[in-house]
Amino acid sequence: MERSRFLRRLNRFVVECQLAGNIVKAHLPNSGRLWELLLPGRTVWLKVSEGSGKLPYTVMAVEKNGHPVMLHTQLTNRIVERLLDEGRIPGYEECSVERSEVSIGHSRIDFLLAPRRAINTREKIFLEVKTCTLFGSSMAMFPDAETSRGSRHVAELAGALPERARGAMLFVVQWPHARYFMPNVHVDTDFVRVLLAARSKLQVSAISVEYEDLSFQVSSVKPLIIPWPFIEEHAVDSGCYILLVSIPQPKHLSFRKNGSIRYFPPGTYMYVGRARRNLQSRMAYHRRKRKKFHWHIDRLTSVATRVRPLPIRLPEAPECHIARALANHFDAVPGFGVSDCSCRSHLFYHPGDPVTDSAFVEILMEFRVEYLEKKLEKLYRR
């Protein structure tokens, strides 16, 4: 294993790192967004690629808070198979792997498990494993991007299975200090909805793993709390959003209500908004080019080359708190979007891409993850 410095992500499966003074490309065997992990300057652990791959290195782990977070999703399955054989996964102590990569409907499921003892009345289990790398201090969430494949797996496992068989889903969190797990209510409402509907038919569980070292030998396995009532409460189509509006060329825009003309230099603008209901529809509206203008931000999105809404689904919608957090790190466009509050602005400027900026990612994590962590800690201290 070789230590390198992360530079940038070229596409979903290729990254660029600095290794021993040289810039190298490496295969990333993880299709997640990984915004909170793959930040410029982070330590990334590379391994010389095996076989005839096009890239000389493969990414194995990235360091966060001094802890290596394993990113190799295929290796997760090998680790889970070993833990199953050793009887170390809670709820599966009496199971062994009968087959891997088993077809169900239009999906391939990771494992078919059978009881260790030949008892005819015991069920076989179709088990799908998901690697989870999105976490705060005590809570982990999956997925970190929309996953139609994950939703399909849930539906297939909760559907028609062979006689004396049932479906199961295991989330493996690559963070030993996690205490809670929940599906990501912010980024994929379809996955959350399907999982909530199927949980009575599926065995859904989550574990955190701790490794001895970079050999990824598991030293401990811990079951996590899945707070289903809390998840239902927060699976809402309301809350806040940060709109990332990309303007590659300088623009002068007129705002008819006050007749003012404002200059917008090229870069990315971060707009904080709120939708008390129909959040998904509101974000879709902002992405449309052809629309009737309702808000000042519509002038900006109409000339943008890219509009990326980042939802923060919370029943209480702390819009102004998010704006003030952004104001501490980024230049504000004075008086923009604040007709009904006392904030200085709800529009902020970044010269590049905010998702590669640790300050922005930390704010996103604060309101998507840490905010919920604090609520869960209060709930489970009772």
- pLDDT band, residue 259 (cuts 50/70/90): low
Q: How far is CA 107 from CA 167, 168, 339, in A?
A: 13, 14, 50
Identify the pLDDT of residue 350. 97
Note down the domain range covering 116. Answer: 73-234
Q: Is the pLDDT of residue 227 over 90?
A: yes
Q: What is the DSSP-derived secondary structure letter of residue 367?
A: I
Q: What is the DSSP-derived secondary structure letter of residue 266?
A: S
> 23-37, 154-168, 280-294: which has the highest mean pLDDT?
23-37
Q: Of 88, 118, 114, nearest to 100 (Cα)? A: 114
User: Of 62, 93, 111, which closes a domain?
Assistant: 62
| % of the chain residues with pLDDT over 70 | 97
Burial class (CB in 10 A: 0-12, 13-18, 19+), 244: buried
Q: Which two tokens stand for residue 215?
A: 């050999």
- pLDDT band, residue 381 (cuts 50/70/90): confident
Cβ(165)–Cβ(205) under 8 Å? no
Identify the pLDDT of residue 256. 62
Antiparallel, parallel or unpaired: β 22-27 and 218-223:
unpaired
Q: Of 279, 274, 276, 266, nearest to 306 (Cα)? A: 266
Identify the pLDDT of residue 121. 53
Q: Is residue 382 part of a domain?
A: no
Instruction: Tell if the pTM clears 0.85, that is, is over it.
Output: yes
d(CA 220, CA 122): 28
How many CB atoms sit inside 10 A of residue 22's CB? Answer: 8
Judge if 21 and 48 occupy the same domain: yes
Judge if 256 and 298 occupy the same domain: yes
Q: Is the pLDDT of residue 291 over 90?
A: no
Q: For residue 40, give the CATH number of its domain.
A: 2.40.50.580
Q: Is the pLDDT of residue 122 over 60?
A: yes
Q: Is the pLDDT of residue 361 over 70?
A: yes
- Rg over alpha carbons for the chain, rounded to the nearest Å, is 23
Judge if 117 and 50 occupy the same domain: no
Judge if 85 and 209 occupy the same domain: yes
Identify the pLDDT of residue 52. 65
Burial class (CB in 10 A: 0-12, 13-18, 19+), 219: exposed
Judge if 227 and 326 occupy the same domain: no
Q: Is residue 379 part of a domain?
A: no
Higher pLDDT, 295 or 196: 196
Q: For residue 145, give the CATH number of its domain.
A: 3.40.1350.60
pLDDT in tens, 127-177: 999 999 999 999 999 999 999 999 999 999 998 788 888 999 999 999 999
Cβ(345)–Cβ(336) under 8 Å? yes
Judge if 188 and 43 occupy the same domain: no
d(CA 283, CA 34): 22
